[in-house]
Chain A
Amino acid sequence: MPTIAEKILAKKSGKRRVEPGEIIEAEVDYVMVNDVTGLPAFEVFEEFNTKPLKEKIVLIPDHYVPNKDIASAEQAKAMREFARKYKIPNYFEIGTSGICHQIMIERGFVAPGRLIVGADSHSCTYGALGALGTGVGSTEAATVFAIGKLWFKVPETQKFTIEGKLNRYVMGKDIILHIISDIGVSGSLYKVMEFYGSTIEELSLSDRITISNMAVEAGAKAGIIPPDEKVFRYLNGRVKGDYEAIYSDGDANYSEEFEYDAEEIIPVVAEPFLPSNVKPASEVDVKIDQAYLGSCTNGRIEDLRIAAKILKGKKVHRDVRMIVVPASKEVFEEALREGLIEIFLDANAYVSGPTCGACLGGYMGVLARDEVCVSSTNRNFIGRMGHKDSRVYLASPAVVAASAITGRITDPNEL
């Protein structure tokens, strides 16, 4: 019996049924590019000498904006000019938007049952709303601009079930790091992850987004969570167009099944240099130089709320610099209304406008030689956030905030 991904790919390729391993051509609902992946896509598209399918295209500058240097300024300009030249409605200038995956979700492009590709590996994030979202390259994005379709190899699907109640301060980030440490960074290579269980059902949409966002760190093509009331309520009044929720049949054909007990999940960090290198935060005694709260993984209002709750009335350690980067204008405005920005400023954290920033070592918090950062981002490869001898520990917003106070990696339960 078919899984969610198989059903979506069958529907979008006009077939009654597809099998894992089969190569198909499917109609894509939306294609997104950001400022870094956009320019190569535009250059390839111009070679096709055709008109773009405007209504499918979403252009979101986020990696190196506000422009970090002249070369980045030229890339951002290229996107702006492409939008103007072809009158593409869905172009999101800075000051109106934020990090690409956050905007795709906030502005209603992502909905259950849709097939969405993004020229950014974390496009798997859209699975949290029951869509099939997957990362592609710039040439492929240009292909979708031109013909609205793309080739796909139908993937197998793995089932992940998490049951039970979460412990205090445990967040979606800890759940996905727990899973990745179990199966490894290629544990889901070429496969789709589907997530089930009472723990998942109890999670906020924000925590589900964190989980789907990091599916690619296990090598997965996509990470899908069956949509429920939380998703439908969020999309009410926000979603563009109609949608049809798609579910796996009860006895779907999974290649592997994994089960986890939520009570065994605790606040963790992923030590350098792989997201699978996971240890309990309470067992890691490492001094930090920087604490980074932001990114498509953990830059939402729920993430800022938990960090503010921990930081309220306290100060960032004098040997640490904390950087807070809301993932979008909407998040920043909500944080302002709730008084969270004041809490961060009072604590001596540096608050930035929305951007991908230091997540990928671009700017806004790059690390020097031997510096250590605890971060709510998604990758800790060598040189990810700066100097090749710098080190990044991935963590939940709660661990990031607690660590910023003590100056060392800290489990918030120990504060």
Chain B
Amino acid sequence: MWRFPDNVDTDQIIPAEYLTTSKPEELAKHVFEKVRPEFVKNVQNGDIIVAGKNFGCGSSREHAPRALLGIGISAVIAESFARIFFRNSINIGLPVIECKIDVEEGDMLEIDFANGRIRDIRTAKEFKFKRMAPFLLELINSGGLVPYVKNKLKCR
């Protein structure tokens, strides 16, 4: 689990000079390059990001959540999200949870989406989060906007 502060912007997540590709595995090489250069080397598949307010502020670049998916991030938990980043994450199937939690970097977390609970394995502390609107949950569960649209087009 990786801790980040407030206002982590999209230029931090994936600097603009790399927006010449949209391949997640290429973008993954440059995640947080300018602010936490050790991140790319040490992140493991399945890791979780925990952040403060306004995570993902700045650009609308979908490359930002794609890069996080590409590098193996399994969920982002933040006190609050910038709205375009939040939409993009749901639309591509990156779970985003709005919740303020008291944890330390390196802790292992267990997320129970169905019941809206997060558990810190080290401290045994539990945190509750508000379930998302049913439509948005449905989008995440069906893998994002693409399957949703394909379905719609089929039903025409």
Contact = CB atoms under 8 A, between A and B. Distances in A.
Interface of A: 23, 36-37, 39-40, 43-44, 47-50, 63-64, 69, 71-72, 74-75, 118-121, 123, 135-140, 142-143, 146-147, 151, 153, 185-186, 189-190, 216, 219, 221, 274, 360-362, 379, 381-384, 388
A137 B87 contact: yes
Contacts of B60: 37, 118-121, 123, 135-137
B150 interface: yes
Given A37-B60, A49-B153, A137-B92, 20 more contacts: A75-B20, A119-B60, A119-B62, A121-B58, A121-B84, A135-B60, A136-B84, A138-B62, A139-B88, A139-B144, A140-B87, A140-B91, A153-B133, A185-B7, A186-B57, A186-B80, A189-B83, A361-B17, A379-B11, A383-B15
A126 to B, nearest CB: 14
Interface residues of B, number: 42
A75 B18 CA distance: 12
Interface string B61-92: 11100100000000000001011100110011
Contact of A219 (B57, B59, B62): B57
Interface of B: 7, 9, 11-12, 15-17, 19-22, 34-35, 53-54, 57-63, 66, 80, 82-84, 87-88, 91-92, 133, 135-136, 139, 144-146, 149-150, 152-153
Contacts of A219: 54, 57, 82-83
Nearest to B79: A186
Contacts of A140: 87-88, 91, 145
B5 to A, nearest CB: 12
B149 A69 contact: no
Given A36-B19, A147-B152, A185-B7, A382 B145 contact: no
B19 A186 contact: no
